[in-house]
Amino acid sequence: MDSDIELQLLMVRYQHGDYDAATALINRLSPQMHRFFLTQFVSRRHADDLLQETWLRIHQVRHTYQHGRPVLPWVYAIARNIRVDHYRKANRAEAREERLDASSGIPNAPRDRPAGSPDLEALLADLPQSQREVIAMLKVSGMSLEEVAQATSSSVGSVKQKAHRAYEKLRRGLAGMGIANVRRGGLS
């Protein structure tokens, strides 16, 4: 059975109170949503919290899902809103907290990365949030351009543009690290 059709059927059953359908949706979508949160440079603990909060919100608003529409864009729109809400709360809290001095004597955590390998996290950190989000949905979650456009309330053209700009910046970053043979098709 087609994956999207199966998700739609599970969602409709979930809307009608089917516990097994809810469990199947959670088991099926949680790993990729968790990776989505992790690619947004959230700690594993925060990603766990955001995932749980997303499922709570989905449960609260499951009646708003429209039968026959793709499930992934609807779920990711909710996950995206949860992440944005989390980001705003964190910024408000950070503004109230006193920052540690850069010379506080707390050493940086050692990096467990082989010498000469690209620091993907650093490369992704250089991307604007909207581009990181598009890359996460396209490459980590495997969503289509249309699904990403729906989830981000954007046009397909806008998603393509953000992805293209992100790929170009990632290529330049890899080339700057001396990674040879970064071909145009390798990051698309």
Per-residue pLDDT of the chain (188 residues; tens, 9 = 90+): 458 899 999 999 999 999 999 999 999 999 999 988 888 766 888 889 999 999 999 999 999 999 999 999 999 999 999 988 877 776 666 666 655 444 444 445 444 545 555 666 777 778 888 888 888 888 877 888 998 888 888 899 999 999 999 889 888 888 877 775 555 555 54
The pLDDT value recorded for residue 183 is 55
CA proximity to 56, closest of 26, 24, 90, 93: 26
The pLDDT value recorded for residue 135 is 86
The pLDDT value recorded for residue 110 is 47
The pLDDT value recorded for residue 177 is 73
pTM here?
0.60
The pLDDT value recorded for residue 88 is 77
Q: What is the 3-state secondary structure of the chain?
A: CCHHHHHHHHHHHHHCCCHHHHHHHHHHHHHHHHHHHHCCCCCHHHHHHHHHHHHHHHHHHHHHCCCCCCHHHHHHHHHHHHHHHHHHHHHHHHHHCCCCCCCCCCCCCCCCCCCCCCCHHHHHHCCCHHHHHHHHHHHHCCCCHHHHHHHCCCCHHHHHHHHHHHHHHHHHHHHHCCCCCCCHHHHC
Give me the domains of the chain, ranges plus CATH numbers. Answer: 1-96 (1.10.1740.10), 117-188 (1.10.10.10)
Residue pointed to by tokens 């989905």? 58
The pLDDT value recorded for residue 184 is 52
User: Under a CB-based contact definition with an 8 Å cutoff, are residues 161 and 145 in contact?
Assistant: no
